[in-house]
């Protein structure tokens, strides 16, 4: 037998201390964060990319494979979820749909967030949110560092490649690229940044080192500016606002002032002394470029019209099938690319809003079912009422639907924060 060092033995014992639910939780996180590395920089084959994407979409369902009785138990306890899944199956076979494959993919994409979220609600004791915290932190800082490097590079650089090697039109904001981090496209990175804000909130809740928490919060905002995403900035502001009003005691000047004096002073001195390295200039450039894009959208009217139309269309729906829709998966780009576009969708025209996609595919019946699921999920969380309201706003504004990154990171973020509140409220040990 080979020699095992004490360090290796400790690592092994730590890994073995994780239960199967927490291990799967980490695997889902790592796969979602790093899947784009393979798709962009290792194997750019479209077939390989589709396989990786399918793995990312299906991994959350594996929670139900850990316990054969879990699916039945969840369905019995949450009747609204069972009814929702039955509705998805029926709507997958809508005769207006192009193919049955659209419907099958639609079932997966519509259900992944809800199924894994309600599984978590019934199995909180099996999740240990603080155990993988070091992994979250390492990758969080790594993503921002990579993004800052990408921001300085030209669009033609390999680091700024998208997963689709034929897609050469790299998005620009101001005079810099809109960064993607390790993700295949911008949407993955912006979805990840939402999770990172939940991570910051979790650090505040567990009284983690204030210097690291503050730095990660500031870097999250900088990362959002570099992404050029206006929706991501709105979500940043919403989450930060609710975090401050909910965790005000943890932000108390009397409690944390002394702890933060030194790190803030050091941070300011670094920026001032080493300004010649371009740190402050890079942050200023990110802000200026973002402000230019924001201002352009306001002046052209594109920003207000884009925001208002996505919600006005829910009230004044212009589709011909407002009750049952045109079929599940009909608007999913992956399905239309592989299997074609239904005549009903082509007649309707381009649709971007996720809420409008729900309404178009499944009508008001599916739309209201998802609203009910949202209320049911929020009601059963252990987080304070203001946080439940915030989570409801986020889900409604940016439904976890056809952006699999959004579905997974929304689940990871909500469960991370809720589990920490839960363990403190019921005094459950974090390391079991």
Q: What is the DSSP string of 302-354?
A: HHHHHHHHHHHHHHS---S-TTT-S-TTTT-HHHHHHH---HHHHHH-----H
Which segment, 49-53, 69-73, 262-266, 313-317, is predicted with the most confidence on average? 69-73
Contacts of 164 (CB under 8 A, 6+ apart): 46, 49
Q: How far is CA 212 from CA 109, 172, 231, 237, 415, in A?
A: 35, 30, 26, 20, 22
Which letter, b or e, does each residue of 109-126 get, where b requires 16 or more Cβ atoms within 10 Å of its Cβ? bbbbbbbbbbbbbebbeb
**Token duo for residue 73:** 């138990």
Q: Render pLDDT for 161-180 as a digit per residue (tens, 0 to 9).
A: 888 766 667 888 777 888 99
Q: pLDDT tens digits, residue range 79-91? A: 999 999 999 999 9
Is residue 46 very low, low, confident or very high in pLDDT (cuts 50, 70, 90)? Answer: confident
Mark out the alpha helices in 247-301 (DSSP H runs). 253-273, 279-300
Confidence class for position 49, pLDDT limits 50, 70, 90: confident
Pull the structure tokens for residue 369: 């079912």
Classified as helix, coil or strand, 123 is: coil
Best CA proximity match to 175, nearest among 285, 27, 13? 285
* Distance, CA of 368 to CA of 364 (rounded, Å): 6
How many other CB atoms are there within 10 angstroms of residue 430's CB atom? 14
Look at residue 156 and give its three-state secondary structure.
coil
User: With DSSP H G I counted as helix, E B as strand and the rest as coil, what are the percentages for the chain, rounded to 5?
Assistant: 75, 0, 25
Residue 285 predicted with pLDDT over 80: no
51 contacts 65 by C-beta, under 8 angstroms: no
Overall size of the chain counted in residues: 432
Q: Which residue has the tokens 């980490």?
A: 26
Spell out the residues 6+ positions from residue 336 whose beta carbon is closer than 8 angstroms to its own: 98, 102, 330, 345
pLDDT (0 to 100) of residue 2? 46
Half-sphere exposure of 164 (CA within 13 A, CB side): 8
What is the mean predicted confidence (pLDDT) over 260-275? 48
Hey, CA dihedral for 151, 156, 161, 166, is it positive or negative? positive
233's CB contacts (< 8 A; 6+ apart) are 224, 225, 290
CA Rg value for the chain: 22
Q: How many whole angstroms separate alpha carbon 47 and alpha carbon 59?
A: 18
Q: List, for residues 176-217, the tens digit of each pLDDT value.
A: 888 999 998 888 999 999 999 999 999 988 888 888 888 898
| Contact (Cβ atoms closer than 8 angstroms) between residue 198 and residue 413 | yes
């Amino acid at each position: 037998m080979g020699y095992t060092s004490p360090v290796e033995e400790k690592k092994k014992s730590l890994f073995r201390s994780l239960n199967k639910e927490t291990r799967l939780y980490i695997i889902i996180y790592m796969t979602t964060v790093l899947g784009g590395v393979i798709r962009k920089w290792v194997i750019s084959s479209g077939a390989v990319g589709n396989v990786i994407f399918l793995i990312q979409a299906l991994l959350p369902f594996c929670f139900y494979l850990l316990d054969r009785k879990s699916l039945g138990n969840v369905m019995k306890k949450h009747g609204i979820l069972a009814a929702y899944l039955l509705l998805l199956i029926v709507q997958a076979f809508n005769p207006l749909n192009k193919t049955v494959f659209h419907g099958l993919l639609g079932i997966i994409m519509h259900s992944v967030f809800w199924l894994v979220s309600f599984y978590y609600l019934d199995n909180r004791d099996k999740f240990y949110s603080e155990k993988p915290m070091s992994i979250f932190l390492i990758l969080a800082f790594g993503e921002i560092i990579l993004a800052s490097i990408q921001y300085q590079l030209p669009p033609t650089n390999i680091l700024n490649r998208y997963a689709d090697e034929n897609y050469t039109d790299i998005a620009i904001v101001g005079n810099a690229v809109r960064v993607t981090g390790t993700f295949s496209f911008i949407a993955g990175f912006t979805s990840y940044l939402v999770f990172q804000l939940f991570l910051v909130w979790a650090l505040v809740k567990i009284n983690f080192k204030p210097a690291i928490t503050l730095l990660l919060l500031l870097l999250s905002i900088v990362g959002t500016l570099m992404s050029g995403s206006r929706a991501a900035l709105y979500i940043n502001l919403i989450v930060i606002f609710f975090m401050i009003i909910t965790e005000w005691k943890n932000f108390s000047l009397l409690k944390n002032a002394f702890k933060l004096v030194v790190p803030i002073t050091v941070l300011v001195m670094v920026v001032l002394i080493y300004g010649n390295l371009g740190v402050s200039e890079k942050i200023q450039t990110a802000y200026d470029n973002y402000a230019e894009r924001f201002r352009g959208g306001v002046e052209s009217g594109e920003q207000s019209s884009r925001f208002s139309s996505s919600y006005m269309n829910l009230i004044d729906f212009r589709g011909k099938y407002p009750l049952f829709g045109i079929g599940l998966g009909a608007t999913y780009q992956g399905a239309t690319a592989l299997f074609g576009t239904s005549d009903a969708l082509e007649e309707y025209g381009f649709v971007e809003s996720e809420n409008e996609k729900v309404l178009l595919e499944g009508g008001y019946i599916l739309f209201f079912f998802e609203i009910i699921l949202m209320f049911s999920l929020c009601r059963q969380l252990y987080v304070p009422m203001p946080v439940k309201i915030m989570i409801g706003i986020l889900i409604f504004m940016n439904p976890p639907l056809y952006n699999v990154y959004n579905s997974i990171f929304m689940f990871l973020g909500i469960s991370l924060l809720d589990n920490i509140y839960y363990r403190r409220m019921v005094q459950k040990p974090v390391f079991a």
